[in-house]
Structure 1
Amino acid sequence: MSDQIKHECGVAFIRLLKPLSYYQKKYGTALYGLNKLYLLMEKQHNRGQDGAGVATIKLDVDPGKRYISRHRSMASNAVADIFEYIQKKFAEVERDFPEKLKDADWLKENMSFTGEVLLGHLRYGTHGKNSIESCHPFLRQNNWMTRNLVIAGNFNMTNVDELLQQLYELGQHPKEKADTVTVLEKIGHFLDTEVQGLFDQFKREGTDDNIAISKMIADNMDVAKILRKSANKWDGGYTIAGILGHGDAFIMRDPAGIRPAFCYYNDEIVIAASERPAIQTAFNIPLEEIKEIKPGHALIIKKNGKVTEDQFSEPKEKKSCSFERIYFSRGSDASIYRERKQLGRLLTPMLLEEVNHDLKNTVWSYIPNTAEIAFYGMVEGVNKYVKQYQRDRLLNRDDKITDEELQEVLQMAPRVEKIAIKDVKLRTFITQDADRGEMVAHVYDTTYGLIKNDTDTLVVLDDSIVRGTTLKQSILKILDRLGPKKIVIVSSAPQIRYPDCYGIDMSRMGEFVAFEAAISLLKESDREDLILEVYKKCKDSVNVPKEQVENYVKAIYEPFTDQEISDRIAKIITPKETKAEVKVIYQTLDNLHKACPEHLGDWYFSGDYPTPGGNKVVNRAFVNWMEGKNQRAYM
């Protein structure tokens, strides 16, 4: 994606089902869990580079001994920074008492981060909320072991105000208005209720030994019930992992399956992560053995090692985030790789028509590197056309073909070139806008001498066009210098028209070039009354229950065809001094669904939000835009 869009976040979870000595004997180190957690997090570093955190819990620790360890970092390479911090502790042991590094029991007794339950998190910060306090995992601490709670997640809730009100009604006073706090405190409240209920029950049944009761509570805690009560009013997309102080753990996924969650377990380990390839690579596990956690379900790991997948909320129609497939998740996932190639292939008919099937005078390329897989699919589609063309020319003839014609037909092939290379991330430290724009224009290096001046059409694939800022400030200027007659910018994703409120940092209407194009067309055609009408409906819906609200912003786009909006986008993003004709082509929604049939979450393209809170968010975002408020429409 040429425009940087941040994505929240990545989760990594490991539960060792055997004693540490088992891993020392089998794998040669009692730090097997830590080593694997590091790999699991590094293989997901694409999901968050603003901060990271790790927490571990030791099982069956004597009173007075620390059993929860946590460290968070906002360093430029946060994951490495965290594990360097942890590694230093063991390096000192190796230096002073090398034999102790092989003594699993001693390590657990004396060293932090030697727990059997490990949780890691990678984070992207949004809207200035980037501090060490914002980094997961979060802790809710208590002297009762069973009331301690550690959580980390990839989530956004659309109804934070409603959830906060529920906490007030429960008698709580949260320290912050944020979905992380509401989630932590909501689970914490029902955790407290479960513990107290079990305590009272065992007292009534005649058990007077409080130490014995504590163990009985840990053995009998109903984690699924806690999650059912906690998530009752949640509206959002989420994958949330949690550990209770005594060792029970869970990984829960929202009812629409918006955010991704994968898992694997056998008799020695339980693993969960936001991305499947991370598990495959870190543990060398075949793809077919890794499961997707079902929407509305939680993978629950009891302290005794029992693993179940329990429903905590009624599953809805599955609307897994299609942006995960187009851009965010790593393309090393086999199914994502196939889907991205298919997105490129499906663009081919439109592109061939746009260049009048003139392969001789068309150069095919892509920007940025994340578009490479879709580009392979696009080239495959062009090559398929070439083979069909050759077949038709050679077989469907009544006369004999000349050597010259034969040579021309056989040599026909797409001209595939690497036109632009992102050479270095330049720091635009100069304050003046004009100077900063000049610096941005040098982020990419170009390959000169490949384009025939005023003759060639240059087709450049991007995986998504959101704001169009980088295209206007940098890429189109660079491409125009090469001297093409025409530049076709192609997006393997459809037009992004609406904000996301489930975990992607796309939350303000004014950020979308498609929205800017629609507004421009409305003003040009003297239909500003429609803008005011939508504003009134959105404004009136602010205090209406979310279940009764529609997405009124859809009306902004209805007067225009997709191509009319694409043509206006081309006009908006084209720098004034550009000599080449610029055309913009977007993927269609139908093609997106064909390419990603199991991941139909397309609300940022279609406006069809998978939860009622999404409609509230998009309407509020429009109100914010109309009123000049530069803020996101959810907490």
Structure 2
Amino acid sequence: MSDQIKHECGVAFIRLLKPLSYYQKKYGTALYGLNKLYLLMEKQHNRGQDGAGVATIKLDIEPGKRYISRHRSMASNAVADIFEYIQKKFADIQKEAPEKLADAEWLKEHVSFTGEVLLGHLRYGTHGKNSIESCHPFLRQNNWMTRNLVIAGNFNMTNVDELLQQLYALGQHPKEKADTVTVLEKIGHFIDTENQGLFDQYKREGLDDNREISKLIANDMDVAKILRKSAKNWDGGYTIAGILGHGDAFVMRDPAGIRPAYYYYNDEIVVAASERPAIQTAFNIPMEQIREIRPGHALIVKKNGKITEDMFSEPQERKACSFERIYFSRGSDAAIYRERKQLGRLLCPQILDFVNHDIKNTVFSYIPNTAEVAFYGMVEGMHKYVKKYQHEELVKLGADITEEKVAEILQVAPRVEKIAIKDVKLRTFITQDADRTEMVAHVYDTTYGLIKKGTDTLVVLDDSIVRGTTLKQSILKILDRLGPKKVVVVSSAPQIRYPDCYGIDMSRMGEFVAFEAAISLLKEMDREDVILDVYQKCKDSQKLPKEEVQNYVKEIYAMFTDQQISDRIAQIITPKNVNCEVQVIYQTLDNLHIACPDNLGDWYFSGDYPTPGGNKVVNRAFVNWMEGKNQRAYM
């Protein structure tokens, strides 16, 4: 992606189903769980640039001894930083008493992080504060073991104000206005309620030993019921993992399946993560054995090892995030790899029309590095077209066939080259705006001598165009130096027109070049009345319940075809003083759905939000833009 969207969060969960001594004997280390958690997190490092955190819980620990451990980091290499911190504890033991490293029970009793339940988190703050306090996992602590809660997640709630009011109504006084706090406290409240209800029940049944009651509560807690009550009014996209102090654990996924979650279990371990290949790699598990947590369901692992997948909220129409498939998730997932190639193939008819089917004078390339897989698909599509062309031309020869004519036809082939090269070592460290712009222009380099000046059309594939800034400030200037007659920038994703509110760093209207293009066209037509009318509708809608709100921002785009907006985008991203013509092609929504049939969440392209809160957020984002407020439209 030429315009970097930093990413979203990721989770990693492991529950060891055997005693630590089992792993010591079979795998040669009692740190089996920690080692696997490290792998799970590193293999999802693409999901967190702002920080990371790890928490573990030890099962069946005597009162008075620490059983919850947590460490978080905001270092640039946060995952490595955390595990270096943990590893140092064992390095010290290695120096002082190396035989203790083989004593699993001693390690569990004396060394932190040697628990059977492990939770890791990779954080990207979509638009909020960036501090160690914002890093997951979060803790809600209590002297009753069964009232402790650790959570970490990949989520955003659109209705934080509403959820806060519900907490106020319960008599709580949250310390800040944030969805992480509301989620933690809402689940925590119903954990407290479940505890108290069971306690009262056992007292009524005549039990007097509170220690025995505590054990019964730990055994009988209904985690699914707790989650059903907690999530009743949540509006958002989420994968949330949690551990109760006594050892019950869960991983829950929103009813529309917006955010991804996968899991696997056998008689040794239960593992869950945001991305399937992380589980495949860390545990050497075939893809077919890994399951996806169903929308509206929670993977629940009881302290006794019982594993269920329970519904906590009625599943809605599945709207799994298509941007996961286009860009966010690693392309090492077999299904995602195939889908990205298909996205590239489906663009071929549009591209061929734009270059007038002139394969001979067209060079095909891509903008590294995330568009590479879609580029392979596009190249396959071009080869398929050329084979068809050659077949038709050979048939046309009929009786006029000669060796020279056949050779000429068979020489036709797509010209595929690596033109743009990303200089990953270059850093735009200079702070003055003018100097920074000059430095940004050199983040990409190019391969010289491949373009026939004034003759060739250069087609470059990007996986998405969000702001168009890097194209304008860097890439197009560099490509123009090669002397192409025309540059066609192709996006394997449709036009990004609307903000995300479910966990992706796309929250402000003014950052979308498609929105800038539509506004520009309206102003050029002297139709600013449309802008003002949408503003008033959006402003009025903020007073309505979210269930009654519709997306009025769609009206900004309604007067134009997709190609009209693409043509204006081409004008916007074309730098001054370039000699080549610049055109822009975007993927169509229909083709996106063909390529990614199981992940139809497309609200950032279509404006069709999967939850009622999404419509409220997009309208508020437009109001913020109109009023010059540089802030996201949800808490």
TM normalised by structure 1 equals: 0.99
Distance across 2 between alignment mates of 1:424 and 1:46: 16
Runs of 4+ displaced beyond 6 Å: none
SS at match of 2:207: coil
Deviations 1:229-263 (A, max 9, x none): 00000000000000000000000000000000000
1:432, distance to aligned residue in structure 2 (A): 2.9
2:45 and 2:122 in contact (8 A); partners too: yes
1:427, distance to aligned residue in structure 2 (A): 2.8
1:6, distance to aligned residue in structure 2 (A): 2.2
1:425, distance to aligned residue in structure 2 (A): 4.3
Distance across 2 between alignment mates of 1:22 and 1:623: 59
2:256 and 2:610 in contact (8 A); partners too: yes
SS at match of 2:398: coil
SS at match of 2:65: coil
Distance across 2 between alignment mates of 1:37 and 1:294: 23
Deviations 1:535-571 (A, max 9, x none): 0000001110000000000000000000000000000
Q: Which residue of 1 aligns with 2:140?
A: 140
Deviations 1:361-406 (A, max 9, x none): 1000000210000000000000000111111111343223222221
Q: Which residue of 2 aligns with 1:317?
A: 317
Distance across 2 between alignment mates of 1:594 and 1:577: 39
Q: Which residue of 1 aligns with 2:551?
A: 551
Q: Which residue of 1 aligns with 2:43?
A: 43
Distance across 2 between alignment mates of 1:396 and 1:581: 35
2:126 and 2:503 in contact (8 A); partners too: no
1:534 aligns with 2:558: no
SS at match of 1:399: helix
1:8 aligns with 2:13: no
Q: Which residue of 2 aligns with 1:377?
A: 377
The 5 Å alignment of 1:405-416 reads: 405-416=405-416
1:428, distance to aligned residue in structure 2 (A): 2.3
Q: Which residue of 2 aligns with 1:402?
A: 402
1:7, distance to aligned residue in structure 2 (A): 2.1
Distance across 2 between alignment mates of 1:364 and 1:520: 31
**Letter of the structure 1 residue corresponding to residue 309 of structure 2:** E
Q: Which runs of 5+ in 1 are unaligned?
A: none
Q: Which residue of 2 aligns with 1:572?
A: 572
SS at match of 1:237: strand
**Letter of the structure 1 residue corresponding to residue 610 of structure 2:** P
Distance across 2 between alignment mates of 1:44 and 1:313: 28
SS at match of 1:363: strand
SS at match of 1:41: helix
1:360, distance to aligned residue in structure 2 (A): 1.0
1:316, distance to aligned residue in structure 2 (A): 0.1
**Letter of the structure 2 residue corresponding to residue 447 of structure 1:** T
1:353, distance to aligned residue in structure 2 (A): 1.1
Distance across 2 between alignment mates of 1:486 and 1:442: 21
**Letter of the structure 2 residue corresponding to residue 196 of structure 1:** Q
The 5 Å alignment of 1:413-562 reads: 413-562=413-562
Larger mean CA deviation between 511-520 and 120-129 belongs to 120-129
1:175, distance to aligned residue in structure 2 (A): 0.4
Q: Which residue of 2 aligns with 1:339?
A: 339
1:434, distance to aligned residue in structure 2 (A): 2.1
Q: Which residue of 2 aligns with 1:91?
A: 91
Aligned length: 635
Larger mean CA deviation between 487-496 and 350-359 belongs to 350-359
Deviations 1:310-340 (A, max 9, x none): 0000000000000000000000000000000
Q: Which runs of 5+ in 2 are unaligned?
A: none
Q: Which residue of 2 aligns with 1:601?
A: 601
Distance across 1 between alignment mates of 2:185 and 2:326: 34
SS at match of 2:507: coil
Distance across 2 between alignment mates of 1:577 and 1:621: 34
Larger mean CA deviation between 84-93 and 390-399 belongs to 390-399
Identity of paired residues, percent?
A: 86
2:51 and 2:124 in contact (8 A); partners too: yes
SS at match of 1:458: strand
1:295 aligns with 2:301: no
Distance across 1 between alignment mates of 2:559 and 2:368: 32
1:392 aligns with 2:392: yes
SS at match of 1:30: coil
Q: Which residue of 1 aligns with 2:348?
A: 348
1:359, distance to aligned residue in structure 2 (A): 1.1
**Letter of the structure 1 residue corresponding to residue 469 of structure 2:** T
Q: Which residue of 2 aligns with 1:189?
A: 189
Distance across 2 between alignment mates of 1:560 and 1:443: 34
1:244 aligns with 2:257: no
SS at match of 1:11: strand
2:158 and 2:613 in contact (8 A); partners too: yes
Deviations 1:243-290 (A, max 9, x none): 000000000000000000000001110000000000000000010000
**Letter of the structure 1 residue corresponding to residue 199 of structure 2:** F
- CA RMSD in angstroms, aligned pairs only: 0.7
Distance across 2 between alignment mates of 1:546 and 1:405: 67
Q: Which residue of 2 aligns with 1:127?
A: 127
Distance across 1 between alignment mates of 2:170 and 2:572: 51
**Letter of the structure 2 residue corresponding to residue 388 of structure 1:** K
Q: Which residue of 1 aligns with 2:328?
A: 328
Distance across 2 between alignment mates of 1:494 and 1:126: 22
